[in-house]
Amino acid sequence: MPSSRAYPLLEQVDTPEQLRQLDLAQLRQLADELRDYMIRSVSHTGGHLSAGLGTVELTIALHYVYDTPNDRLVWDVGHQSYPHKILTGRRRRFHTLRQKNGLSGFPRREESPYDTFGVGHSSTSISAALGMALAARREAANRKVVAVIGDGAMTAGMAFEALNHAGDLDADLLVVLNDNDMSISPNVGGLSNYLGRILSGKLYSTMREGSKKVLKTMPSPVWELARRMEEHAKGMVVPGTLFEELGFNYAGPIDGHDIEQMIKALRNLRALSGPQFLHIVTRKGKGFAPAEENPCAYHGVTAFDPATGTMRAAKRATPTYTEVFGQWLCDMAGHDERLIGITPAMREGSGMVEFSQQFPDRYFDVGIAEQHAVTLAAGLACEGLKPVVAIYSTFLQRAYDQLIHDVALQNLPVLFAIDRGGLVGPDGATHAGSFDLSFLRCIPNMLLMAPGDENECRQMLSTGFRHNGPAAVRYPRGGGLGTAIDPALTTLPIGKGELRRTGKDVAILAFGAPLGAALTAADMLDATVANMRFIRPLDAELVLQLAASHKLLVTVEDNAVLGGAGSAVNECLAAHGIQVAVLNLGLPDRFLEQASREELLADCGLDADGILRAIQTRLSGTLAIPPAADVNS
């Protein structure tokens, strides 16, 4: 562990107040120690590495210049916030990162007063920071607010909505753009640093504001000429015209790893009022050669060897659902040239790397723009193409209006391949796909499926692709049951489940991933197990058949119980006037913290032992069970 190494400066810094007591000349050594500490810690716990390595100097500079936590510091996404966590009193607990009862992998208000806003999804920082800046203005508080946003997060419309609003307000807000796109790295150097200091300095700001007051008294053609001359002059040397047009005072780009230059620029900007924009350029994975060479591979890592960067891959006997989707996508694309693949910045995570290489002209990564991804798919579908949107469950929440209004309302044939359905584990509540069955099954025209094993996942993808309307296949993170996969592109009869095991008294209706645990529990109970497959349309015939022949129906899903698949069964029984005992098992009515997926399933009672225990408790007489229903009466 990192504690076995010597970190003479870092061990003196448990709070930003202690950081601000260091001499400026000591900060480079502190950055080196902080970077090494983070590499060695994450090598044990896993986590998000590349982004944080690129923000070490920025984090130190921000806490050195700003009076945090009185001054508010808002991080975007959270992947870049590990150095911030270490410097704000959590270094001694950093070895618990992303573990049960440990530190979250993202900023959380409950965890520290320095985490001013909880994050997990991208592009929220400017909106939240603007709200805080407006609150400070209303309270007449002597407080500054800083939003740190990565260049990838700037692809989301929400970021530009916030910029557009902020530039029109007199709020003390600094937006720091952490730009790690290597294409602009030649702009970093002595000239750019010099310009950054000049454009953030008092002399330039005073001259600029004074000239604006004078010129506004002149005829409008003179004012417009001066404004255009300034834009032209700045546009020749800095890419800041867009932000100036939005109402920000732009400074940069400057080298985000030159800590002295950043502190000078930040001190200048902190002294200014109104909306400010600082553009810094950093390198993802900075200071760790494997991450610098392949920052995408080291974006999110498992445990690894800090000396070589070699990751300790978990041994898997079966392919993951993500891999099943990736192979199906390539196979179906080879079979049907109308297939178009779309992802909102999750090519690797969604298993689309091979597809993007084999079919580059049919692959679209739209960036962190989930709303655009869905409506883009709708437009393609209008023209007779067959779009497949590969998206994480938790990210689909951000495009709910587009899903309803642009796809379902028009009954367009768009297939949603929804990865990370249910519990995801160490990423915690922000990334858990806990609600998709609930928010999808209420949408008219939607075909909604959840596979119980890998082969069924492939079959459902084919079923949804060939369906003449919107369809969704929702599958979990990780591997399946080890079921052999049929390479054929076969489909399933829509709205039909199947019996996987026949028993007595108790029937377990499994929706998706909990099928394996349900089968194990059923073996110990001699219970019937139905693999329901479809949430919409529900196999009502199978539900009524089981209600007529069993004393207790147990629905199992890795989705919120409220409004989920179990609720669909309850509604079906009520609609047919059937009275039978029902036990709905699923995710509880609370946000679940980070832990391994296995730990979370056990905590929620969705592993085999938990299902067995819940059924036995129900059968013990806690609640009376009426006789089996007669569907013919």
Instruction: Give tens-digit pLDDT for 216-242.
Output: 555 666 555 555 555 555 544 445 777
- Given 35, 108, 284, 458, the catalytic residue: 284
Q: Which of 572, 314, 566 is nearest to 450 (CA)?
A: 566
Contact assessment for residue 86 and residue 327, using Cβ atoms and an 8 Å cutoff: no
Place of tokens 């050669």: 289
pLDDT of residue 18: 96
pLDDT of residue 203: 45
- Given 33, 370, 454, 557, the catalytic residue: 370
* Helix 27-45, helix 259-270: angle, nearest 10: 100
Contact assessment for residue 556 and residue 452, using Cβ atoms and an 8 Å cutoff: no
User: Which residues does 577 contact at the CB level (< 8 Å), separation at least 6?
Assistant: none
* Alpha carbon distance 231, 564 (integer Å): 55
Q: How far is residue 399 CA from its own chain's centroid? A: 13
The pTM score is: 0.85
Strands 498-501 and 528-531: antiparallel
Contact assessment for residue 597 and residue 424, using Cβ atoms and an 8 Å cutoff: yes
pLDDT of residue 208: 55
Tokens of 570: 């309850």
- Does residue 501 carry a catalytic annotation? no
* Alpha carbon distance 63, 16 (integer Å): 6
Q: List, for the chain, all residue ranges whose pLDDT scores fall below the cut of 50.
A: 182-192, 194-195, 198, 203-204, 207, 235-238, 622-633
* Alpha carbon distance 98, 271 (integer Å): 37
Q: Which amino acid is at 21?
A: Q
Place of tokens 């768009």: 414
- The DSSP code for 70 is T
- The DSSP code for 314 is P
Q: Helices then strands (H, E): number in the chain? A: 25, 19
* Alpha carbon distance 427, 425 (integer Å): 6
* Alpha carbon distance 417, 396 (integer Å): 10
H or E segment at 416? strand 415-419
Place of tokens 């445990």: 303
> In sequence order, what are the beta bridge partners of 554?
508, 583
Beta strands in 63-216 (DSSP E): 72-75, 145-150, 173-179
- Does residue 284 carry a catalytic annotation? yes
- Does residue 72 carry a catalytic annotation? no
H or E segment at 585? strand 581-587
H or E segment at 376? helix 370-382
- Given 98, 108, 143, 398, the catalytic residue: 398
Contact assessment for residue 364 and residue 376, using Cβ atoms and an 8 Å cutoff: yes
> In sequence order, what are the beta bridge partners of 174?
146, 276
* Alpha carbon distance 350, 321 (integer Å): 10
* Alpha carbon distance 194, 370 (integer Å): 38
Peptide bond into 186 cis (omega under 30): no
- The DSSP code for 413 is -
Contact assessment for residue 63 and residue 259, using Cβ atoms and an 8 Å cutoff: no
Helix residue spans in 201-283 (DSSP H): 202-215, 220-237, 241-245, 259-270
Angle at 557 (CA atoms; ends 555, 558), nearest 5 degrees: 155
